[in-house]
Structure formats: C-alpha cells, structure tokens
Amino acid sequence: MEADPQMEGMTVTRRHAVMAFGLLILAGGLVGCGKSAGGSASQSERSIRFINADGTITDIPARPRRILSTSASVTGTLLAIDAPLIASASAANGQYFPQWAGVAKERGIKNIWPAGDVGIEAAIAVKPDLIVVSTGGADSALAQRAELQAIAPTIVVDYGSQSWQYLAIQLGKAAGLENEAAARIAAFERYVVDARGKIAVPAGKVNIISYNGSGTTNPIATANGAHGRLLAGLGFTVEDPDPAWHAASEARGDFVWAPYEMLPRLTAATTFLLRANDERVATFLSDPVLANLPSVRARQVQSLGTNSFRIDYYSATQIVDGIVKTFGK
C-alpha cells in the first residue's frame, strides 16, 4: 500500500491514531443517535450503537456514569480518558498493574475480582450502567458475557491487536468521551515527538522480546504491534519476527509467540526485553544459546521496563521515559 502523502509529516504513532479513527468512520463501527431530529442530543440523552470486536452490536441508551471493566488490560485506557470507572478486575495475582495502580487508588476504583475469577454477584453489587469485556487474554470475561448483559449493556473490545490509542478512540465513543480520548492521544503524541528529539537512536534494527528462557515460548513483538509502533515513533527500526515461528493456537498482530530455539535467528543490533529487571537482562546476556546474537555480542541489550508487556497510556509513558534515560543525547 502506498503511503498517504497527507500523513508524511506525522510520526508512526500519530498516523496510527488517525488511521484508526478513519477506519471507525468508514466502517460505521460506532454510530451516535440523537433523540432530537432538529439537533444533537445532550450528552446525558445520547444513545450509541456500538459494534463490538466480534461484529455484534450493543446499544448504549445514554452516556455511561458507572463503568465496570472486567479486563485489567483495558482499565488503563479507561483511566487515561477519565472514564467514569467505578470497578475493575485486577491481574491474576489480585493486584492492579503497577503503572496505573496509584491512579486507580486515587479515584477509588473498586478491585472487584482477580483475572479468571469472574463474580456475577459482585458485578450486580456495583450497579454498572456499562460493562467492558475483552475478546481474549487471561483477564477476559467473554464466557460470562450473557450473564453480564443481563446486568447492563456490555461491549466487547480487542486490546491484543491494536494500540492503546485505537482502543481509546473506541472507548471514548462508547463512553461519550471522544474529546477526552482525542486530547490524551494528542498530548501523548507531543510527548513522543519531544522525546525523539532528546535521544540518539543506535544504528541498525532493534527487536523486542519477552524473554522466558528454554522450555517455553518467548513472545517477540512485531513491527506493527503496539510496542513496535511506539519504538518506530521514537525513531527506531523494528525487526519483524518470522510469522512461521508462531507457536500459539491463534494468530496475533502484536506478537509472534516463538519457541526458544527460534531466538538465535534474530539479527537486530539492539534487543529490548519486556518486563525485565537488571537481573533478567544479565541472564539473557549470559545465555549460551544466544551468545551469537548481534545484540549480545555488542552488549546492546536493554530493558523496556518491568511494566512494559502491556501497553497502555501509563506504561507507554514509562517506556518513553526509559528510552530517553538510556539513549539521551
């Protein structure tokens, strides 16, 4: 596909957000319905017909005031657009993700259940007027969708194959917070542009790995996934893993879940490790199977931060700050 000349001056992150919005308009994925034929309805009266990630439709009769997120991976984006979130599922360990846990505490968000332990009675008790469910992941409540729909309008989103900006646009439409979503995306874009001017990007390509060692899969971020696009926006060129390495049952756009034995085939000069501390980086550098990786030979292996696996506004900001600290001019 040829590049759109009107987007040549934008960074990759901005282009993705703009393209995402355009796709929603073209697809008719989100349609606002005013009650008055003579003009637009007020925010409190406005109804929305939301097309879910699986193609089904959810009618939202009025602007939500009490949102329940059943997916911790979606909660960060809801917080970022100042959605009226009242409760959220947590990670499997019963804790909120560290990158936004402080924000959730300040706003009094109820920790309703850990991932994988959906409680319908708990959902009823918080009296939501909109429930958000993810299509997949360990924190998905899709299996309880029918029961949740009996409580309140329930929308289904896919956080695994798109950026947090695209997700913010979708959630902003569903919650009547389009302006807030657009403002957050624009502010982050400015932040990325400013950071790009502060760093010296190393020569060659980079790869992004969730390093788990032998005996299991080691997800490698794709160039078109959220991590790849974020680093591209900062000026890096991301090495794309071979899709044939994917060992998971479902194809994904953000990661190739590669067997450990595939890692030595990577060729980038720099490696970024997801959710890795200094000890994890040292383990990667000393792994004898990976000794001939160009990034290992050059000792150019860096952590993207301990909260970097799931990209939302908060973790993305932490990643940008870490990049500036490591590669600052």
The structural domains of the chain, ordered by start, are 5-191 (3.40.50.1980), 206-327 (3.40.50.1980)
Burial classification of residue 258, based on how many CB atoms lie within 10 Å of its CB (0-12 exposed, 13-18 middle, 19 or more buried): buried
d(CA 175, CA 66): 10
Residue type, position 214, single letter: S
The answer to whether 301 and 254 have CB atoms below 8 angstroms apart is no
Tokens of 29: 């994925």
Indicate the pTM of the whole model. Answer: 0.84
| pLDDT at residue number 306 | 93
| pLDDT at residue number 35 | 36
Mean pLDDT (the chain) is 87
| pLDDT at residue number 127 | 98
| pLDDT at residue number 16 | 46
| pLDDT at residue number 138 | 86
d(CA 239, CA 211): 16
Residue ranges in the chain modelled with pLDDT below 70: 1-45, 250-252
Helices (H), the chain: 12-27, 72-80, 98-106, 120-125, 145-149, 164-175, 178-196, 226-233, 278-286, 294-297, 313-327
| pLDDT at residue number 13 | 42
CB atoms within 10 A of CB 91: 18
Residue 68 Cα to chain centre, angstroms: 18
| pLDDT at residue number 160 | 76
Give 54's DSSP letter. Answer: T
Compute the residue count for the chain.
Answer: 329
